Amino acid sequence: MAHSLHYSTAFRRRWALQSLITIQKLCFTSNSESTVLHGFAGGGIILGNHGKRLTPALAYIDQTYLSGSVHDNLTNYKLFQRIRDTEIFYSTFEQNQFAVAVSPLPVTSCKNLRVSPDEVENPMDVVSRNSVRRCIGMGVHALQRRGTREILVDPCGDAEVAAEGAYLAAFVYDELKSVARQTIKPHITCYTNHLASSSSSGASVKEDMLAAWQRGRILAMSQNLARKWMEMPANYLSPSAFAQQAASVFDGMSQVRTNIRSSEWCREHRLNGLLSVGAGSRRHVAFVEIIYEGDPARCKNHVALVGKGVTFDSGGISLKRSTGMEEMRADMGGAAVVASTVYGLASLGVPVNVRAYLPLCENMPGGGAMRPGDVIRMANGLTVQVDNTDAEGRLILADALHIACKHPDFVGEEPSLIIDVATLTGAISAALGDEFTGVFSNHAASHKAAAAIWHSAEAPSSSLATETEEDIEPIEDTEDEEEVEVGLQIEQPLMRLSPARGPTLWDCLRTSATIRGDRVWNLPLLSTIPLCEQAHLADLVNVTGGSNAKKGGSGTAAAFLNFFVPRHIPWMHLDIAGVMRPDLRQGYMRKGMAGSKCIDAKPENVGCRSSPA
């Protein structure tokens, strides 16, 4: 019985290989304009397979050249139902070798997805987006290993997602290796020959598919830009080098302008948190501003993005352990994600105004480094007692958040929304593992007017301009709260907003992240009282000690940042320390740094849009 089963499997595989050889011969011998892969010798094509069902691309080849025999035999013999990984079949014609990579696509129920099926491209059950990315990514990896330089990709029902999977999978940072050891970077193209282009409707479908492919390519290349920066060694990517590279990617984009501020500018505007963190390194700090005006008519209505940019974090005087310290070259991941997000927005021409702020420095234990016990006077007037120099990210973010709210060149122009991104705390990994981004937000971000910033084209320039008396409730001051407010001398209105009646900013971000394949989780802001009570030398302490030393480290960091954002401005803090490396179980990204894509670049998913795409 075992011998019979082995023979049957071998027979089915030989039949499949013979069918693909037949396809290859038909492709290269046909002189008609409908030739499937004419002139594509030595390359490869990636096709998806839904168990018994074929993707439209594979079905087209089957029906056009093989009279449906592939579908019939797959149904009868169930050849690919046992496949759990990509299968590659080779064929030759006139001494040219061609590879066909067939990857599995699990079928998912439509009710579990938020993606509408394309009736023309995908008449079968809808496949989850990550399954498409995984299918295409596995095929790209398999063909890259065999040295394929030209790859055609089956859109698998969603050309945008297929492009993301292909380009994210093809990326590898090996620029510093010798040429012989570098991975081949293939030229990737969307396969559209299975679409009829004779009619106007067919041409329109093909045009839409290529537009979706181009959009997915831009999104993937933007994320790959962040991955490249995060992978670069610190001796190649100093703060000044990062500033120059971040500015150079926007060359030729008329709607984007960049400013690289020197340490003298930072000193003039009292960015003492940034200057103190960078004082231990011989490399000077830099502060980068990236201003994208996708909607010039409403330039005052903008979203502010802030990214932590510590190009190497040794911990300073509070030195880190040597294990894993080499990965601290990626502690500028927040700045990389923010810069690449603006690049994606500008490349797609999204009608939104964004101002990005990147505080860049190194945290080193040099002779001028800040010491535990030092007190820093921040740009907003608060003083901070430094109890741990390894909690440096919140210090530079605090300065950047203050500039985002009260920039000296844009007096009176407050952002409608602030999002900061940072590889801030290792505690977020303890809380959420390595699959989730931790999200914190203030009370203004939970209000319905804040959600309108994300969605509505009619969002007001002031996020709370549409408030009514019914939406505002007085706060009953407690003795502790009054002591904290008076002691810090923070001008805060004694009012709070009622909870949102409808989608909040968190709901918008979660939807956007789900579409992009990221996982996010909403976490609460912790009490700010311990940060004040334990600071006997200053207004605040940068970390809590004693019984609170190992409790809620991520929430404590977010609570610290909350002191530097006015209450009436919606603010969200994304801690991406747990997801700085990709989840290899997804199958479409290699080992290394992941970047991030949870800030979606679609106009309907980015704040302050002025018109639909």
Apex CA 241: angle with CA 240 and CA 247, to 5°? Answer: 90
257 bridge partner residues: 291
Specify whether 320 is catalytic: yes
227 is catalytic: no
- Residue among 129, 283, 329, 394 flagged as catalytic: 394
Please report how many Cα atoms fall inside a 13 Å half-sphere around the Cα of residue 209, on the Cβ side: 29
Catalytic residue among 25, 53, 320, 496: 320
CA gap 13, 470 in Å, rounded: 70
Please say whether the beta carbons of 467 and 496 come within 8 A. no
Alpha carbon distance 603, 601 (integer Å)? 6
For the record, the structure tokens of 31 come out as 């002189």
- Phi/psi class of residue 159: alpha, beta or left (left: φ > 0; alpha: ψ in -120 to 50)? alpha
In the structure encoding, which two tokens stand for residue 531, read together?
């940060």
Characterize the bridge pairing of strands 353-363 and 303-307: parallel
Q: How would you class 486 by CB atoms within 10 Å of its CB: exposed for 0-12, middle for 13-18, buried for 19 or more?
A: exposed
Rounded to whole angstroms, how far apart are CA atoms 74 and 264?
69
| 44-50 and 150-153 beta bridge pairing | parallel
Report the C-alpha gap between 559 and 440 in whole angstroms: 9
Long-range (24+ apart) CB contacts under 8 A made by 506-512 are 506/439, 506/441, 506/445, 506/446, 506/572, 507/451, 508/451, 508/454, 508/455, 508/605, 509/439, 509/572, 509/598, 511/114, 511/605, 512/598, 512/599, 512/600, 512/602, 512/605
Structure tokens that stand for 121 in this block: 């491209």
Question: In 3-state terms, what secondary structure has residue 524?
Answer: coil
- What residues are annotated to the active site? 320, 394
